[in-house]
Structure 1
């Protein structure tokens, strides 16, 4: 009987690890998307270094994505909390 419990615990741990890896993959994909969008929006001519306008544009672009993502995440959390009560 102990063996079945151990297998169940192993399966649960494996499922947790897979979920963590899926979350990491989604996060990495989102970062690549941010980089692509912001690069296309802000970088006119790639060079050996970024000028101050390009740096500011990239920073603002990424900050807007982060703010939007946090806002959406918070809104979904509110919806879930209201639905749970």
Structure 2
């Protein structure tokens, strides 16, 4: 019998929650990237972006995505290289 504080989620519900969490992370990343690159590259508004602003936005987005990918890859590598918590307790 489970205790009053244990929580067991239906696998389908867990998949749904995981997918929603991923969507939220992606939306947050897009918002951060948009705000950062817009503030950096667009200094005046007009009917169209000028060539300088457009090139700056492209470079900014590419740099942001490359950096995010690098950080995530590094964190995943560190996570895989750490011994499991239970293994570290047995030492």
Match of 1:54 in 2: 53
Identify unmatched segments of 5+ residues in structure 2: 1-7, 85-91
Gaps in structure 1 of 5+ consecutive residues? 1-7
Judging by fraction of residues, say which structure has more helix.
1
How far apart are the structure 2 equivalents of 1:34 and 1:59? Answer: 11
| Aligned length, in residue pairs | 77
Q: CA deviation at 1:84?
A: 4.5
Offset from partner CA, 1:26-69 (integer Å, 9 cap, x none):
11111011101111110011111111100111011111110100
Deviation at 1:12, TM superposition (A): 1.1
- Find runs of 4+ consecutive structure 1 residues off by over 6 angstroms: none
SS of match in other structure, 1:49: coil
Task: Give the RMSD, CA atoms, in angstroms.
Answer: 1.7
Q: Equivalent residue for 1:70?
A: 69
